[in-house]
Amino acid sequence: MIRRVSQFRLDQRARIGEKEHSRLTEDGLGAFGREQKQACSGIARYSKAVNKLIRLAGSANKLKVVPRTRLFRPFSMMEKGRFFIIKRGNKEMKQLKKGIVGLVAAAVLITLAACGNTSSTEDTQSGENSVNAVEEKVVGVAPGPYGDMVTEVISPLLEEKGYQLTTKVFNDYIQPNNALANGQIDANLFQHTAYLEKFSADNQLSLTALQKVPTLGMGIYSKQLSSLDELADGATVSIANDASNLARTLQLLAANELITIADNIDETKATVNDIEENPKNLTFKKLDAAQLARSLDTVDLALVPGNFAWAASLDPADALALESLKEEYKNVFVVSSEEEDSDFAKAVTEVLESDAFKEAIAESPFSNFDQPKFWTE
């Protein structure tokens, strides 16, 4: 399915080659040729030039992109795992497409010609630099938004530091930590600090959180209402039936003054029986958390955990209210404790603490996620 590329993605891809291609102008081709006369640095250089040209076109919202497709083969030589399709239609885009395809073809030909005229030592060094420029790392994720966050935001920033991230999706919250401890993956991003600490202690694993990332909390969604002020007396509300999500559900309802919970109750273990006041006489419909989004057609409100909301394509910007997460419930980027001081871990930490990461998040689909506290300290 073709989807529009958000501007933050185009900007991030272009930023990688910005220093080396500062002279690249809107036509792209002239500057591109000059770059190749100066150096034979392999396909990676052309990838950066193409990214710049894509950003220029994308700024006018004239491009559409399909990640990881085989339909536009030339880019498979340019960027591992990322291929692009240009939206057809108007004359400008047809011309731009010809320009980019020509640019790619010229890149390959110029590379071969230029490299053929240099010494074998220079060829070897150039090839090694191109091949070894980026090291691939595998990050374990669960279904939800964080796989997209890894590939759409974190990986492009890390490429400047020599790393490219790919994801491996696990369908539960157990395998990602075990796979990391066993060395099957290099990192994971799916869990909050409280879960990491308990799981590691219970299973005697040595895992380390590098830094927190913006996290999507539970949201109150409705197809019937545009504001909680419109909620009628006796409305039906669907809530999770598992203990952990149920307690968070009740806390979110209480935070929005729809119910109150008895004072002598631990909020993290609260149940419907612990509701002290229910001024709107709400009727609660307990469902499996995965079914909550589907219930929106039959209830007035549904309180949907972040991962399930994302999977159901619910936009957090449309939520009537979002959960304000405690720090221990914000997701963390995790590596094996043995790798805590590795170059990769240091690079990840620098990216997650950088202004560039904050800016990319602000321009991304994750802009409404609950931010780490250190962002505002």
The whole-number pLDDT of residue 290 equals 86
| Top-confidence residue, 45 or 129 | 129
The whole-number pLDDT of residue 30 equals 44
In angstroms, rounded to a whole number, what is the distance separating the alpha carbons of residues 189 and 146? 7
CB-based contacts of 350: which residues, under 8 Å, 6+ apart?
A: 161
In angstroms, rounded to a whole number, what is the distance separating the alpha carbons of residues 260 and 278? 7
Q: Which two tokens stand for residue 294?
A: 């589907």
Q: Is the pLDDT of residue 245 over 60?
A: yes
Q: Phi-psi category of 27—alpha, beta or left, where left has phi over 0 and alpha has psi -120 to 50?
A: alpha
| Top-confidence residue, 30 or 336 | 336
Q: Per residue in 145-194, pLDDT tens?
A: 999 999 999 999 999 999 999 999 998 889 999 999 999 999 999 999 98
The whole-number pLDDT of residue 273 equals 95
DSSP track, 144-160: STHHHHIIIIIHHHHHT
The whole-number pLDDT of residue 244 equals 79
Q: Which domains occur in the chain, in start order?
A: 3-131 (no CATH), 135-215+329-376 (3.40.190.10), 219-322 (3.40.190.10)
Q: Per residue in 268-327, pLDDT tens?
A: 889 999 999 999 999 999 999 889 999 999 999 999 999 889 989 999 999 999 999 989
Cβ burial of 34 (10 Å; 0-12, 13-18, 19+) is exposed
pTM score, whole prediction? 0.60
Q: Per residue in 27-72, pLDDT tens?
A: 443 444 444 434 334 444 444 444 544 544 444 343 434 333 333 3
Q: Which two tokens stand for residue 146?
A: 């964080």
Q: Which two tokens stand for residue 284?
A: 């609660």
